Structure 1
Amino acid sequence: MKRIVVACGSGIATSGLVANKINNLLEERGMVGKARADSIDIKSIDLEIGTADIFVSITPTFDLSNVRIPTFSGIPFLTGIGEEEIMDQFVGLL
Structure 2
Amino acid sequence: MVIINVLLKVIPEKREEYLTYVENLVNKSLQDEGNVFYSHFEDVYQKNQFMIVENWANQAAVEAHNKTDHLQDFLKNIGTYLVEDCKINVAVTDTEG
Taking structure 2 as the reference length, the TM-score comes to: 0.36
Higher RCO (Cα < 8 Å, 6 or more apart):
2
**Structure with greater Cα Rg:** 2
More helix by share: 1
More strand by share: 2
